[in-house]
């Protein structure tokens, strides 16, 4: 059985994306139960030189659904303009990414594999990679880093989360958990 670029990228990202709304709900419940404010969580960061919580949702969006849209061409330019400012706007951004991934066909994603992709930042090409390496060696690790950091910030702030909250349904979005 052949393992495609679509198989390697889309189901894994969808699994983790589909878990994020539950993590957000637990964060909101923690605010209600603990007396901390939404701002205390939303403005939290792991270290002073790291981005605050909403940036990690933005980065999950950038390195998943947005990436697939960008990679229909030959350039990837991250979007730094859309930063969610509330739990609902975080959910909306994750929902948009999930919808983009759900709409992606294996043919569309696999077509990216051999295309040369330029990473453009500030109008300047920083590096070029084959599409397969761009998705698996750049976007996927970035996505996983930011999904993990989002989870870690909330855990650090006392939100009662487990590994299962982070992982979601390992069978994937098409299968129901028992």
> CATH number of the domain that 80 lies in?
1.20.120.450
Residue predicted with more confidence, 176 or 88? 88
145 in a domain, yes or no?
Answer: yes
pLDDT tens-digit profile of 124-160? 999 999 999 999 999 999 999 999 999 999 999 999 9
94 in a domain, yes or no?
Answer: yes
Tell me how crowded residue 71 is: count the other CB atoms within 10 A of its CB: 20
7 in a domain, yes or no?
Answer: no
Single pTM value for the model: 0.93
Domain count, the chain: 1
Could you give the CA distance from residue 8 to residue 167 in angstroms, rounded to a whole number? 16
Tell me how crowded residue 126 is: count the other CB atoms within 10 A of its CB: 10
12 in a domain, yes or no?
Answer: no
Could you give the CA distance from residue 106 to residue 119 in angstroms, rounded to a whole number? 23
6 in a domain, yes or no?
Answer: no
Q: Are 36 and 28 in contact (CB under 8 A)?
A: no
Q: What is the pLDDT of residue 174?
A: 53
4 in a domain, yes or no?
Answer: no
104 in a domain, yes or no?
Answer: yes
Compute CA distances 38 → 27, 46, 88, 95, 105, whole Å: 9, 17, 12, 21, 37
Which residues, at least 6 apart from 79, have a Cβ–Cβ distance to it below 8 Å?
58, 62, 66
pLDDT tens-digit profile of 30-86? 999 999 999 999 999 999 999 999 999 999 999 999 999 888 889 999 988 999 999
Nearest to 38 by CA among 93, 85, 92: 85
Give the residue numbers spanning the domain of 32.
17-167
148 in a domain, yes or no?
Answer: yes
Residue 122 has pLDDT above 80, yes or no: yes
């Amino acid at each position: 059985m052949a393992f495609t670029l679509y198989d390697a990228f889309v189901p894994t990202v969808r699994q983790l994306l589909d878990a994020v709304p539950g993590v957000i709900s637990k964060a909101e419940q923690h605010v209600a139960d603990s007396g901390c404010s939404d701002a205390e969580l939303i403005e939290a960061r792991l270290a002073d030189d790291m981005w605050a919580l909403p940036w990690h949702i933005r980065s999950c969006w950038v390195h998943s659904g947005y990436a697939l849209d960008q990679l229909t061409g030959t350039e990837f330019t991250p979007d730094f303009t859309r930063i969610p400012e509330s739990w609902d706007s975080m959910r909306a951004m994750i929902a948009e990414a999930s919808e983009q991934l759900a709409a992606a066909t294996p043919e569309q994603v696999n077509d990216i594999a051999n295309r040369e992709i330029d990473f453009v930042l500030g109008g300047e090409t920083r590096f070029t990679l084959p599409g397969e390496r761009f998705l698996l060696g750049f976007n996927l690790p970035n996505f996983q880093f930011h999904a993990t950091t989002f989870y870690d910030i909330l855990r650090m702030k006392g939100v009662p989360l487990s590994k299962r909250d982070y992982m979601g349904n390992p069978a994937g979005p098409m299968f129901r958990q028992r």
